[in-house]
Structure formats: C-alpha cells, structure tokens
Amino acid sequence: MLELHRISKSYPGVDALRGVSLAVGAGEVLGLVGENGAGKSTLIRIVSGAERPDGGRIEFEGETAGFASPADARERGIAVIHQELSLVPQLSVRENLFLGAGWSRRGILRRRWEGREARRLLGLLELDIDPDARCSELSLGARQAVEVAKALALEPRLLILDEPTAALSPREARALLRQVRGVARRGAAAIYISHRLEEIEAFADRVAVLRDGELVHGVDRRGPTGGGDGRLPLDRDELIEAMVGRSLSMEFPPRLPEAIGGPRLEVRGLSAGRRIRDVSFDIRRGEVLGLAGLVGAGRTDVARMISGAMASDGGEVRLDGRRLDLRSSRRAIRSGICLLPEDRRGQGLVLSRSARDNFALPNLDRFRRLRGVVDRRREGRAFSRWREQLDIRLSSPRQRVATLSGGNQQKVVIAKWLERGARVVLCDEPTRGIDVGARYEIYEWIRRIASEGKSVLLISSELEEVLGMSDRVLVMHDGRIRGEIPDPARADPAAVLRIAAGIGLSEEPPVA
C-alpha cells in the first residue's frame, strides 16, 4: 500500500535519512523501532506530508505521491496519531471526533448524525465511552483511544501511531493495540512506533529498524536488507543488536587523572506520583554519573527535582551530608546545585536578553554593591573571563542570546553556572542540537569540572555519549533505576539498551 523508495533527507549538519526504502501492505502492522535520533520522526514527517524528502519517491496505493502538506496527506487517507494528544479537553468526545472535519449541512451541525456516527466509531474499537463525556474527564488511555477513533473517522488507508502508549498503563496499552490490530484486519495498514519492544513483538507483523538514518533491518519489496527476513517472532536481543549496531566512534576527550572521592550528593527515595518511584543514588566527588534511559523514563524529572525546579512528593537529597531544601530553584542554586536544562531555549535562557545579562542572572548577588545596585564593571570582567575560557563567540557581550548558535548558547548557560561555583552540575542533554566542534568542547568542560572535584550528573539519550563520558552509569526504566553499569567505557551498549527497554525485568511493574 505504501512504498518508500530510497528516501533521503538532511538537515544542516545531519543526514537524518539516507536512502530508506520501506513498504507496508494492506492489513499489515509494521513496527518501526530505533534509538533516539535514528530518523523515525523524520520518516513519519515525510510520510505524513509535514516535510518533503530531499530525494527518493513515495508510492501510495500504486500512485507516486508527493504530499504537499499534512492536509493533503490526510485527504489521501493517511492519519497520524502523535504522542501529544490533539484533543480539546473542554469539548465532548463527540465534538472532538468531528472537530475540523466539516461534517455539517449548510453550516449547521448534524448533531444526531454525529452522535450515531460517534457511537459507531467507538463501538468499532470496542470502547465503552460516552460520546457526550468531556474529554478532560477521561483517563489518559481513553483519550488516546478517542484519538484513534478520531483518526478512524476519516477512514484512513494508513494509520501512523507515534509512541501512542508512552503515557499509558500496560493494560491500557494492550487495549489500544488490540484496536490497532482490528483496524488492520479491516484492510488498512498501520505503522507503529514504540520503544516498548514487547509491544512490537506482540502486535507487529513485521519490524523495521532504523539506525543513523538507515534501514538496518526489515523488509521491502525486493527482499530483506538486513539480517533475518523480518518475520516475527523476532528475537528481541537481535532487534536490540540491530538498533545499537557498531559504534560510530564518537570522539571523547581523554579522561583526566581524577581522583573520585566520597559521596557528595546523596539521593534517597525520590518519588513523584507514578512518574518517579523510589529513586536512590549517590554521586561522588569528581565523578561523572551518567543517567541513561529512553525518553519518558523519568531522567529529566529526577534532575528537575534535585535542582528544585519540580516538586517531589517523597524522598530527600543530601549535599555533603546536609539535607537540601528543594522547594525552589533559588534555594537549590544557593546550596550549590545547578541545572543545564534539556530545553535550553525555553528554560535555560531569556532569549530576548543579552548574553551578559543571561550570564549574570543567577550571579547578580555576587556583582552587587549596596542596595541591589549591579556593579557593571565587575559583571563585565567576570563575563569576559568565562567568555575567554569557554571560547564563547560573540560580537559583543550585549549580543542577544537568541542570535547565537546552539553551542554558544549552551556555553553561556555553562558560564553562568561556573561563575556561580556550583558543587553539583546536572546536565540534561547538554549536547542536543549542538554541532560536533562545540560538542567536544562541552565534553572537555565536563571532564574539567569533574577533575576539579565537582560532581556531574549527565543525562543523555545518546548511549555513546553517556557511556563515553561517564565514570558510572545508571539506567532508568519507567521511573525507576533498573541497573548500574560500573565500567561504562567497556560496557556493551546492547546490554544498556536492554535494561532501558525493560527487557528481562521481573515482568510488569506494579500499576500505581
């Protein structure tokens, strides 16, 4: 039904897709897996018309198709269900199902027809949901199911689901997947993306594995491109090997002869609802502790809770033996903990202000004269010192950070925390969206502050990076710490991924 021929797409600095060929037939569910950044989202965006490929050909139902826009793709029968819900919470299920579909007669809604149709669609999915219930009153699983029903209302030929179960409990996820199977039985095709390999195993007819923008495992019309014919049952270990592949030989600065000391930050029983459960670990002086895991495993939440950015509902954190007050970022910063947030532009910087102002923001009390007047000379001197040390490229300290490159922006964030003299630095995806050169400089900086006796928590979705940079790695899955890798430099990435994917764990985690 859908055939992709040698699709390629590159963004500045990255080849997101390199000649990917893929086919899905009617009545088939194709599982699409791959590490973060392997190119899954790009592929979906191209198929759904949100992006145009640089090269290659798309055939849909036998015709060569080049979708001009998502609306065009929708018209042709391709429905995408995104991770984020697109329902209007204030409206009822029925209203959401037909929102934007324009099923009216001369501008007047056909409410009775809508009600009938809504019940039919929900019945199709064996859902017991009142069409007149408000979406905000439904559980997350039910809402996700409504999302599927909404897509079905368009009678799609191809249904694409991008990690639809990430936020669902296992039971809800299984119900949803059964519905997807039902759709396929009625003759449509489905592409199903998930990190949960057990779901893929149970529900997909075939699996395609993407790695670094290439299809490394799977089937197109001409036959298998990788090892195996893609037919299930698939060996999960084999899938993981395919996802990880050989090392891209990313370069890391040499480890400095650092002495790792005693525990500096002690985290005990940190919890937050269903998302984070009983997380405990230590970071020692001079240690870089990696935190690996898939997106949504709760790594960011852990960092945010330790830095006071997010409230926890249990547990405690001690810094050099003293219990920390984590009620606000301000307090955490005062006690020497700082966070390089994952969303640099949204959380790390005030884009409308200058580089120097951003640098000075948490440090103003250090540049203060009496009565809160900022000593601009002292501020300027401090900034130019870090600017030189970190090689931040600016036309002037007053240049707005919005106009800087990703790497230089990140360096401004780093500079502000270095000036603060933090004892613990929590780095959440510190190299995301940063070019190779600046990336290396950030690695060097991480090494250096560790050798100065500071403690670093390094969160990264790139396994290479976590393993290459850390002295020790913890692996999170589903809000818990599920494994520890004592010697990451020699660890098997596949083993880490296995833990992160929740394979081989003592079955389903209890539903809270």
Residues making contact with another protein (CB under 8 A):
307, 309, 328-330, 333-334, 339, 341, 346-353, 357, 360-362, 364-365, 368, 371-374, 376, 393, 395, 400, 402-403, 405, 416, 435, 437-438
Q: How many angstroms separate the Cα of 100 from the Cα of each of 38, 76, 81, 113, 143?
A: 33, 16, 15, 16, 18
How far apart (Å, rounded) are the C-alpha atoms in residues 270 and 267?
7
How far apart (Å, rounded) are the C-alpha atoms in residues 279 and 277?
6
How far apart (Å, rounded) are the C-alpha atoms in residues 146 and 265?
44
Residue number, 182 or 252, with CB nearest to another protein: 252
Q: What count of other Cβ atoms lies within 10 Å of the Cβ of residue 177? A: 23
Are 192 and 200 contacting, i.e. CB atoms less than 8 angstroms apart? yes
Torsions phi, psi for 451 (to 5 deg): -70, -20
443 contact partners, CB below 8 Å, separation of at least 6: 252, 253, 431, 469
Residue number, 198 or 375, with CB nearest to another protein: 375
Residue number, 68 or 361, with CB nearest to another protein: 361
Q: Shortest Cβ distance from residue 4 to another protein (Å)?
A: 32
Which amino acid belongs to residue 204? A
Are 209 and 243 contacting, i.e. CB atoms less than 8 angstroms apart? yes
Q: Shortest Cβ distance from residue 85 to another protein (Å)?
A: 22
Q: Shortest Cβ distance from residue 132 to another protein (Å)?
A: 30
Q: Shortest Cβ distance from residue 283 to another protein (Å)?
A: 20
Residue number, 241 or 357, with CB nearest to another protein: 357
Residue number, 41 or 354, with CB nearest to another protein: 354
Q: Shortest Cβ distance from residue 328 to another protein (Å)?
A: 8
DSSP per-residue codes, 429-459: STTTT--HHHHHHHHHHHHHHHHTT-EEEEE
Residue number, 274 or 345, with CB nearest to another protein: 345
Q: Shortest Cβ distance from residue 481 to another protein (Å)?
A: 24
Residue number, 83 or 329, with CB nearest to another protein: 329
Q: How far is CA 151 from the centre of its chain?
A: 24
Residue number, 212 or 435, with CB nearest to another protein: 435
How far apart (Å, rounded) are the C-alpha atoms in residues 153 and 150?
5
Residue number, 236 or 368, with CB nearest to another protein: 368
Are 229 and 218 contacting, i.e. CB atoms less than 8 angstroms apart? no
Are 381 and 387 contacting, i.e. CB atoms less than 8 angstroms apart? no
Q: Shortest Cβ distance from residue 409 to another protein (Å)?
A: 11
Residue number, 329 or 451, with CB nearest to another protein: 329
Residue number, 106 or 377, with CB nearest to another protein: 377
Q: Shortest Cβ distance from residue 438 to another protein (Å)?
A: 8
Residue number, 176 or 349, with CB nearest to another protein: 349
> Burial code of 435-447, b = ≥16 C-beta within 10 A, e = fewer?
eeebbbbbbebbb
Q: Shortest Cβ distance from residue 339 to another protein (Å)?
A: 6
Q: How far is CA 254 from the centre of its chain?
A: 28
- Cα-Cα end-to-end distance for the chain: 41
Q: How many angstroms separate the Cα of 331 from the Cα of each of 60, 265, 339?
A: 57, 15, 13
Among candidate residues 329, 227, 224, 239, the one with its CA nearest the CA of residue 35: 239
Q: Shortest Cβ distance from residue 341 to another protein (Å)?
A: 6
Q: Shortest Cβ distance from residue 361 to another protein (Å)?
A: 4
How far apart (Å, rounded) are the C-alpha atoms in residues 76 and 92?
27
Q: Shortest Cβ distance from residue 301 to another protein (Å)?
A: 14
Label each residue of 412-427 as H, E or C: HHHHHHHHHCCCEEEE
Q: The dihedral of CA 18, 21, 27, 28: what is its sign?
A: negative
